[in-house]
Amino acid sequence: MREKLINYIDTLFADASATKENLELKEEIMHNTLQRYDDFISEGKSEETAFNLTVAGIGDVTELLAQMRRNAPSTFTYTKEEIDRDNRRNGLMMAAAVMLYILSVIPPIIFSAFPSMELLGVCLMFVMIALATGLIIYRSKTRLRYNRSDDTVVENFKEWNHENQGKRALQKSISSGVWALIVVLYFVISFTTQAWYITWLIFPIGAAVDNIVRACMDLRK
């Protein structure tokens, strides 16, 4: 009869989606039902009587499941047009950020011809770098997010994977911008100073900066 009770409860939840809440509800009902059945048997009732009394005490599970669906947070999905528009926007913002990284070395070169304005050129360079980094961060924060349709393990994994893809893309974009800036700085400083014997140190310094940025982003996770 215990096996019959288990099959009966499985049947009650046959049409229910495999969400975390539904599985927890099923497990709780299963545990209480079997315990109630054992109590009836210990009172001296027959297996058939104990089964009927236990089933009668379960109640209307269908209504409970319907209420849980009504109380569940609403979800929505994006249309193909919205996804395409978001991809184009992200691409444009990333292209603009990379362009700013590369062009950021131009102000110091131009203003180096005017000794009294060299500081202005350096300030403009850092402003352009800040704008490029801001664009990348804004792009990451405003991109479309994955909306899971329920609380299943599969949907949870999809959401986790989507978020991690976004973080990896942001990290890769910032790293690409940093190395583009490092290479440009290397050639500009080398040709300007002709100190090729020492300017190669820019690359290990750049690698250290890149690793620091990666470490900071990993800590944020």
Instruction: List the pLDDT tens digit at each of the 221 positions of the chain.
Output: 788 888 888 887 777 766 677 777 788 888 888 888 888 888 888 888 888 888 887 776 766 666 655 555 545 566 778 777 887 888 888 888 888 887 887 887 788 788 788 788 878 888 888 888 888 778 877 876 655 555 444 455 555 555 666 666 667 767 777 777 787 778 777 877 888 888 888 888 888 888 887 777 666 55
Tell me the C-alpha distance between 151 and 130, whole Å.
39
User: Which token pair is 37?
Assistant: 């059945």
Tell me the C-alpha distance between 170 and 191, whole Å.
32
Helix H or strand E segment including 175: helix 153-193
Map residue 43 onto helix, strand or coil.
Answer: coil
Per-residue pLDDT, 39: 87
Per-residue pLDDT, 164: 61
Among the listed residues 186, 178, 174, the one whose alpha carbon sits nearest the alpha carbon of residue 220: 174
Among the listed residues 48, 45, 44, the one whose alpha carbon sits nearest the alpha carbon of residue 5: 48
The residue extents of the domains of the chain are 2-71, 80-220
Tell me the C-alpha distance between 139 and 142, whole Å.
5
Per-residue pLDDT, 11: 82
pTM recorded for the entire structure: 0.45
Tell me the C-alpha distance between 129 and 107, whole Å.
12
Q: Are 132 and 104 in contact (CB under 8 A)?
A: yes
Half-sphere exposure of 115 (CA within 13 A, CB side): 0
Tell me the C-alpha distance between 162 and 173, whole Å.
17
